[in-house]
Amino acid sequence: MAHADTPDNQGSPFWRFSLRTYRQPGVADACIALQDECGVDVNVLLFFLWLAAEKKRVPAVNARAVCEQAALWHDDVVAPLRAVRRKLKGGSTLVERNTAEMFRNRIKAVELEAERLQQEAMFAMSPNLETEPSESVDAAARANVLAYEQAVARAFTPGAVEILIAAVVVNAQRAAGAG
């Protein structure tokens, strides 16, 4: 997620979960590491972790289908916006530095909106997505990350994954305590 300084009370439950999770200590860095080092679509990973927070496991075949659907928007819209934003980070040789930075910030806002739209579309898929019950949030999170790894035929950095799973488990415990 490009930047998560938006209100927690807007968007779908999945979007609100993502904002809360992304703000947890170490999560943003772990997401960026997974994205840059392993090619992870952070929105897809957060989707699987949101389902895990509800103690829902995603079978591998369904994880693959989610990845295929999400890749269409991610590859055509989110990733190109991210690439432009990152290119502008060092400034420009033509455009004055402050002007280029203001433009980069506008691209960053558009990138975040593209991610939100991806998440809202994925949330809309969730009622029809077949899942299996899990005995715990932790077990569901580990199973869903594994299903995602299998769907994209890549292993993810274990330390970064552990940071995310821990954040999801803590948030689930807080939510259970508040309810």
pLDDT band at 3 (very low <50, low <70, confident <90, very high): very low
Reported as a single tens digit per residue, the pLDDT across 36-61 is 999 999 999 999 999 999 999 999 99
The number of beta carbons lying within 10 Å of the beta carbon of residue 161 is 24
Q: Has residue 144 been placed in a domain?
A: yes
Full domain range(s) for residue 159: 13-178
Pairwise CA distance, residues 147 & 153, whole Å: 10
| More confident call, 44 vs 92 | 44
pLDDT at 57: 98
pLDDT at 170: 93
Type of residue at 107: I
Bridge partner list, 57 = 132
* pLDDT beyond 50 at 143: yes
- CA-nearest of 18, 7, 9 to 44 is 18
Q: Has residue 157 been placed in a domain?
A: yes
* pLDDT beyond 60 at 4: no
pLDDT band at 8 (very low <50, low <70, confident <90, very high): low
Q: Is 143 in contact with 84 (CB distance < 8 Å)?
A: no
Q: Has residue 2 been placed in a domain?
A: no
Helices (H), the chain: 13-22, 27-38, 42-53, 60-73, 79-88, 97-125, 137-152, 158-178
Reported as a single tens digit per residue, the pLDDT across 94-142 is 888 889 899 999 999 999 999 999 999 999 999 999 999 999 999 999 9
pLDDT at 97: 86
Q: Has residue 6 been placed in a domain?
A: no
pLDDT at 41: 97
* pLDDT beyond 60 at 11: yes
Number of folded domains in the chain? 1
Q: Has residue 28 been placed in a domain?
A: yes
